[in-house]
Chains A and B, each alone.
Chain A
Amino acid sequence: MTISTITAQDGPRTQTGPGQGNRRQAMLTILCGIALAVALVPHATDLVSADTITTALVLTCPVALAALGGVWAERAGVVNIGLEGMMILGTWGAGFGALQWGPAFGLVFGMACGALGSLVHAVVTVTFKVDHIVAGVAINILAPGVAKYLSSLTFAAMPGGGTTQSPPVPSLPVLPLPFGLGGLSTGIVLGLVVFPLSWWLLWRTPYGLRLRFCGENPVAATSLGMRVTALRHSAVISSGALAGLGGALLVLASSGLYRDGQTAGRGYMGLAATVFGNWTPSGAFAGSFLYGYMDALQLRGGGSAVRTVLVVAALACGILAVLVLLRRGGLRRLAPPALAAVLLTAITALTDSVPEQVAFVAPYMAVLVALVASGQRLRPPAALGKRHDIASS
């Protein structure tokens, strides 16, 4: 038991019943708000245009794969802050693999590099039982150094490359989409397929049940004859491979080359999505989509698009406040949405475009707001972050 898990224990543990209803109601409200706003607010149709959605998918996928990696590791009870470092290893691996043997091998090699990084994490945390966050931080210091060192060895000598950047890499084939939606890189499609696959593996197979058991009660799992160490190793290595795939997609499906510092904290945002996605593949994807969507909006539409989102958010908060009022909820429940609605309305009324620097911050603000909103409804795996050490337990 550490400080990190305090509030999870302190807060009310709502698993079914009113909590579930509240969440459904909140989702419904947000959907209603968006629908209304799209109808009412000028330029709001840009928010749901096909272009925005495909860009959002491309930006979501790397983060979401890191988040899925987080789900794998943390469901087995291992905190994986090192996702960012593993993703960085994946970007180098993808760049090098694609230039040597072609884009498909780039994907595979990126995954392998991420898995290699997570092997270190697995050995340090599972075998040597070092604190998980400490080990992850160490990986995040080590991995960028390794990637930069390798890139200075490999890419610097290539024509068009340098010490911090690779030459352009061959890209993956593009899959045409129906209904005039344009095309989507096969890498992204592959990334999307991994989500249902992971869900099936973790929730519908004996292996997945055992893996999740290790995250809930490793001592009981051991006494039932499960090989906790091996299971946790496999979970952490899969986690790194997924983060590596996320990094590989940044190179092969998004920017078209390896660049130093390309991940820009996406591994960390993935970890955030793992948490407020309540440690499920679907939740992790939805959380990452929030980040990817806001990122796509600020990249494509800039400040004015972000302002439109704020208008939509103001409307949604207003509707929520009215609903609370109709249900005669107390002041404690009414205050947050009402205040938020007033504040957002004031902000949007004063400006017709959000400054560019504030728009850059929008995805991170969205993540923070989502964490605050979902904070106490989350239920982490019971043994998350604990050292599994029979001798000392």
Chain B
Amino acid sequence: MKLIPHLRGAAIGLLSSVAALVFAAAAAWLILAATGASPLEAARAMVLNGFSDASAAIILNSAAAYYLSAVAVAFTFRLNLFNIGTEGQYRIAALCAAAVGAGLSLPAPLGQVVIVTTAMIAGAVWAAIPALLKTLKGVNEVISTIALNFIAIGLISYLLAPGRLGSGSGSNMGTAPIADGLRDSGIDIAVQGAGLHWSSLLAVAAGIGFYVLIERTVFGFDLRAAGRSVDAARTGGVPLGRTIVIAMVLSGATAGLIGMPALLGDSGSFTLSFPSGLGFIGIAVALFGGNRAAGMAVGALLFSFLDNSSNVLQLMDISNEVVRIMEGLIILAVVITNRLTSRWRTNQARPDRLKDMSAAPAAPAPVNAGGDA
């Protein structure tokens, strides 16, 4: 009997996400129509391109990177701690992993383990800086992580200069390539051109790890409790400082994995043209998925699909920024509908005599019943 309200809740959650998507699509439709392009043609081209064999593997690979990035920020978002520094963390981590990998001559599985572990440690160390600044000095994490993103840019270009870790010049300036034996050979699925990377499976592992750690352990309970109410968590004996540091370190370690599919699968070395911006996309994906393991998976696939299939729009003389606008609108619509449904749920959970009191102030109510919602 208890299942029915749960099912109804899930259905409403799903419905609100769909409503948000429809709203964003309608807005994009209007924008396209207003600028004289044909929305129907554009949508058709995007869908056809997205589901073609060649782009399916590309979309899955980049969805893996988006998902890792989303999981990384979700570790801290669930604690109500806004780590904007994933961008710097994964780039520093990828550089360190590439530099270590270039000097390795280990057999295949061991070498990759060393490279991936290096990336995780480097990401964790870079993320520990804002965590310690916050717990020891009270520095706002939003601002310190943003500043550290810029500092990471400077540090990377310093380290990449010839004679330090890098060689070459211009945008080719980068680390020496990783030995072929340690590269990601790709999973042979029935697609032409591009293949799915083994390292993309790291995303699956990270998702499972995230779910178990956050939803099924004492640490995860502490983290969620502190995210909801610091006062209640402190009263309940949650060690706040330690929770903050551990959450940030986990976030940084996961961020370290973001660059792995690109490093091991595609480029084989860290250059100045290494993919950037993956950290910021992760924030959008995490917000879309409500920081839940399953929701973020849907978000990663959706955003990866939108980003990769938007390139076809340029062939039609439409700026693919329309897709960016659509992504921003999706986020806004999702957070608003989430807020509205959670308010609705709270109202449903109230005793019957208090129900709808806030929604209908005109009804005769006790004098001190509170104002409008």
Contact = CB atoms under 8 A, between A and B. Distances in A.
Interface of A: 1-8, 10-11, 81, 120, 124, 128-131, 133-135, 137-139, 141-146, 148-149, 152-153, 163, 222, 265, 268-269, 271-272, 275, 355, 357-358, 360-361, 364-365, 367-368, 371-372, 375-376, 389-392
Interface in B229-252: 229-231, 240, 244
Given A268-B146, A272-B147, A6 B133 contact: no
Contacts of B373: 389-391
B339 A130 contact: yes
B161 interface: yes
B335 interface: yes
A392 B82 CA distance: 24
Contacts of A4: 80-82, 140-142
Contacts of B144: 368, 371
Interface in B16-49: 31, 35
Report the contact-size class of chain B (Cβ under 8 Å from the partner): 35 or more
A141 B328 contact: yes
Nearest to A149: B321
Interface of B: 31, 35, 79-82, 84, 133-135, 137-144, 146-151, 153-155, 157-158, 161, 226-227, 229-231, 240, 244, 280, 283-284, 287, 319, 321-325, 327-329, 331-332, 335-336, 339-340, 346, 358, 370-373
B92 to A, nearest CB: 13
B324 A144 contact: yes
Contact of A361 (B150, B331, B372): B150
Given A133-B82, A153-B319, A375-B139, A3 B325 contact: no
B322 A149 contact: yes
Contact of B154 (A272, A275, A358): A358
Nearest to B325: A145
A145 B80 contact: no
Nearest to B140: A275
Nearest to A129: B339
B143 A268 contact: yes
B224 to A, nearest CB: 12
A392 B321 contact: no
A130 B134 CA distance: 25
B142 A3 contact: no
Q: Give the 6 A-B residue pairs with the shortest CB-CB distance, closest first.
A: A142-B328, A145-B324, A7-B138, A361-B154, A357-B158, A149-B321
Given A138-B328, A145-B324, A390-B372, A3 B80 contact: yes
B313 to A, nearest CB: 11
A137 B280 CA distance: 9
Contact of B324 (A3, A148, A371, A376): A148
